[in-house]
Structure 1
Amino acid sequence: MIPFHLCAALALLRPTLAASEKKDPPPPDPCTIKNSKGSFFNLNPIAVTLPDPTSKHKDDVVESWTAKGYDYPYNFTINFCEPVVEPLSEIVGVDESLWRNVSAYYTKNSRNYSIGQQNSELVFRGRKLVLNYTGGSPCEPSSSRIKLRRDNYPHEPEDISHGNRDGYGGDDDDDDNNDNNHDDEDRPRKGGSGEKNVRRKSSIFSFLCEKDPLASKAAVSFVAASEDECTYFFEVRSPSACAGINHAKEQLSPGGVFGVIVLITILVYILGGCVYQRSVMHQRGWRQIPNYTFWASIFSFFYDIFVILTSSCARFLPSRRGYSRVSMNGSAGGGGSGSSGRGRGRDPEDENRLIDQLDEEWDD
């Protein structure tokens, strides 16, 4: 019998399980993010990775993304959410153990300068999708920045370099003094990344949605560098920066959703029917099940089908062999011993002989 408290427990089972399954949402996958409206962004398609050594395309040439400096004297090599695939050596001011994690760099006088370590955490600045790299090579000292600025912009008026802002001197003698005053800055620049109080290069990437179906996977443009040559700004146009659907996190397919709806419908039918049959119809035991007669008839129908099939298949089973009729010849089947079974076990000739004998005795 199904007690009433069992039906009530089944009715409360689903909300209890749903409450127990509520957990903190898992962290997003690397290089993915959702905005405040729930739109999903995935930049993994533009992250360049080395091919698997066991794959058929292991010999294909793989290169990181590049950005031209144009009026800036250097070009940049960049990867998104992953380190650059090019082998690097002698990264200025970065420990050798961190060379493999450099995600953006440029080359100056045959020396590589990092402008950021690997980072796969995307952020939103308002409606702008942004990726930030930090922990690059140490920033250049003030005297080097002045010389670099004059080399890059020879037509710029000289008087903008005068003043006391950010260590810019007024003449060459002041530059020489600045060189001496910044000896302490030069030392950490030559050291590793573990030294403290060292300002390091960083880069900021702003991603824009590219809706042109014929456009490349990504187009990287250098925008500007900060005045102290310590922060670099880039703009990236890519179809991957457009909002999409999180297929990786989609738990149920359309068939699964339909199955859940059917399951909920069955639960409501059974639980609601149990409550109605017990409270209104005053049924007990198995008769609390809704439409008990209908389901019982279906069970009887399948039971009869099972019996018919099993009985029909029994005739095809092999019969037991090795049995034969035992003849009562010899002492057990003598003609005068009619009391031993009344001819049971005799062969046909003995039976005929006995019948003829009885007929003769009857005639006499």
Structure 2
Amino acid sequence: MRLLYWSAAFFLSLPHHAFADPVDDDDTPAAERSTPCTITSAKSGAFFDLNPLHIIDPALSTAANPRNYSWNTTGFDMGYNFTLNFCGGVVEDLTKRGVVGVHKEDWKNVSAFYEQDGKIYSIGQTSYHPIIRGRKLILNYTNGSPCPERSNFDEDGEGNGDGESKHNSRIRRKTTIISMLCERDPLYPKLTLSFIASPDECTYIFEARTKAGCAGIETTKQELSPSGVFGVIALVAVIVYVVGGCVYSRMVLNQRGWKQLPNYGLWAGILGVFRDILILVTASCARCIPGRRRPVHMNGSLSYANRGRSGRDSSEAENRLIDELNEEWDDL
């Protein structure tokens, strides 16, 4: 009981900051420090994670048969279909054919596109920041290919007729709006993507029905496995036992040296037992080495095959070994 008191006193004497969480000196807003492609509602606290919808590049996937195409949906009367990915660029290789109006270094970040007349048009770059509007979860892709000429305006609000505005910054680019709807049916596909409308061939509206669109609870990633947690607890317990026992033995019992260890007599006895077992095993193995004498039973009595030494010397050596072991046991 006194050992428990001393251990508790030892831990209570440690400074408070030894157990406090590390100080976060990062000035980055919380919304930007959260996991990409996730969001938590400020009003309800509902948590949304769109990462399960991400299709990994087959070259980086560890799956046996990785998927080599992105999500697709029909454009109906548009005359072309759409290809999209979530939380990353599409897995299709766009570097061989290029993307209209997009810099080459940005081709790998295209998250939505369509193909028309042999050309590829981007309708938005990758976005890792979903937003909540009212009760709707929205994902918005921007900075796609330039919009058609009639959608470009100069500072006076009138088109200049050549497809370019007086200022390049005024050129409108294709964007994508995806409304994420909740689908909890376990038999429903992972994602159902539907094209809704494109009012001016510059903004494209989609509807995605998926389980990822349902509100959930944010879970903190566990850094240690269950065995790791048990190992940490066991290590802390051993440290408390050793440190607390040493403090108690030194301060209360006035012990010094190895005797400061808690239950020194018990551990010394256990080590002595293992030492005696090791001696007996060593002695038994030594008699089995070739060239050594071996016991032979003849006429019901035990004799020794003497190879250069007499049986009397062997018996005396064994008797001395037994006497030494008996003396060591008596000392314990």
Q: Decide whether the 8 Å contact of 1:48 with 1:79 is kept in 2.
A: no
TM-score (norm 2): 0.62
What's the counterpart of residue 264 of structure 2? 292
Match of 2:249 among 247, 255, 277: 277
What's the counterpart of residue 202 of structure 2? 230
Match of 2:73 among 67, 74, 99: 67
Matched, 1:221 2:194: yes
What's the counterpart of residue 148 of structure 2? 140
| Aligned mates of 1:83, 1:253 — CA distance in 2 | 32
What's the counterpart of residue 282 of structure 2? 310
RMSD between aligned residues: 4.7
| Most deviating of 227-236 and 36-45 | 36-45
| Aligned mates of 1:128, 1:303 — CA distance in 2 | 73
Does the C-alpha gap of structure 1 residues 314 and 252 become closer, same or farther in structure 2, counting only changes over 3 Å?
A: same
Does the C-alpha gap of structure 1 residues 108 and 316 become closer, same or farther in structure 2, counting only changes over 3 Å?
A: closer
Q: Decide whether the 8 Å contact of 1:66 with 1:76 is kept in 2.
A: yes
Matched, 1:76 2:82: yes
What's the counterpart of residue 33 of structure 1? 38
| Most deviating of 260-269 and 230-239 | 230-239
- What does 1:163-182 align with in structure 2 at a 5 Å threshold? 181-182=159-160
Does the C-alpha gap of structure 1 residues 45 and 301 become closer, same or farther in structure 2, counting only changes over 3 Å?
A: farther
| Offset at residue 268 of structure 1 (A) | 1.3
- What does 1:310-349 align with in structure 2 at a 5 Å threshold? 310-319=282-291
| Offset at residue 298 of structure 1 (A) | 0.9
| Aligned mates of 1:255, 1:38 — CA distance in 2 | 32
Q: Decide whether the 8 Å contact of 1:41 with 1:244 is kept in 2.
A: no
What's the counterpart of residue 125 of structure 1? 132
| Aligned mates of 1:306, 1:99 — CA distance in 2 | 71
> What code does the residue aligned with 2:143 have?
G
| Aligned mates of 1:65, 1:238 — CA distance in 2 | 13
Q: Decide whether the 8 Å contact of 1:124 with 1:130 is kept in 2.
A: yes
Q: Which has the larger radius of gyration?
A: 1
| Offset at residue 277 of structure 1 (A) | 1.5
Matched, 1:105 2:113: yes
Instruction: Give the secondary-structure state (helix, strand or coil) at the position aligned to 2:282.
Output: helix
Does the C-alpha gap of structure 1 residues 48 and 318 become closer, same or farther in structure 2, counting only changes over 3 Å?
A: closer
| Aligned mates of 1:266, 1:216 — CA distance in 2 | 51
| Aligned mates of 1:144, 1:23 — CA distance in 2 | 44
Instruction: Render the CA deviation track for 1:206-252: whole Å, top value 9, x for unaligned.
Output: 43443211111211123454x655333333222345547879x5322
| Aligned mates of 2:284, 2:219 — CA distance in 1 | 56
| Aligned mates of 2:85, 2:71 — CA distance in 1 | 6
Q: Decide whether the 8 Å contact of 1:32 with 1:44 is kept in 2.
A: no
| Aligned mates of 2:62, 2:234 — CA distance in 1 | 45
Does the C-alpha gap of structure 1 residues 57 and 122 become closer, same or farther in structure 2, counting only changes over 3 Å?
A: same
Instruction: Render the CA deviation track for 1:137-185: whole Å, top value 9, x for unaligned.
Output: 112344799xxxxxxxxxxxxxxxxxxxx95xxxxxxxxxx5xx4235x
Q: Decide whether the 8 Å contact of 2:152 with 2:170 is kept in 1.
A: no
Does the C-alpha gap of structure 1 residues 49 and 310 become closer, same or farther in structure 2, counting only changes over 3 Å?
A: same
What's the counterpart of residue 101 of structure 2? 93
| Offset at residue 17 of structure 1 (A) | 10
Matched, 1:115 2:115: no
How many residues are paired up?
A: 274
Q: Decide whether the 8 Å contact of 1:208 with 1:236 is kept in 2.
A: yes
Q: Decide whether the 8 Å contact of 2:164 with 2:171 is kept in 1.
A: no
| Aligned mates of 1:17, 1:306 — CA distance in 2 | 45
Does the C-alpha gap of structure 1 residues 220 and 19 become closer, same or farther in structure 2, counting only changes over 3 Å?
A: closer
Q: Decide whether the 8 Å contact of 1:94 with 1:136 is kept in 2.
A: yes
Structure 1: stretches of 5+ with no match in the other structure = 1-7, 146-165, 168-177, 190-194, 326-364
Q: Decide whether the 8 Å contact of 2:38 with 2:51 is kept in 1.
A: no
Structure 2: stretches of 5+ with no match in the other structure = 1-9, 294-306, 310-332
| Offset at residue 202 of structure 1 (A) | 1.7
Percent identity over the alignment? 43
| Aligned mates of 1:200, 1:138 — CA distance in 2 | 4
Does the C-alpha gap of structure 1 residues 52 and 285 become closer, same or farther in structure 2, counting only changes over 3 Å?
A: closer
Instruction: Render the CA deviation track for 1:20-42: whole Å, top value 9, x for unaligned.
Output: 899979x777x553647695735
Instruction: Give the secondary-structure state (helix, strand or coil) at the position aligned to 1:83.
Output: coil
Indicate the structure whose relative CO is greater, using CA pairs within 8 Å and at least 6 residues apart: 1
> What code does the residue aligned with 2:132 have?
R
TM-score (norm 1): 0.58
| Aligned mates of 1:271, 1:187 — CA distance in 2 | 77
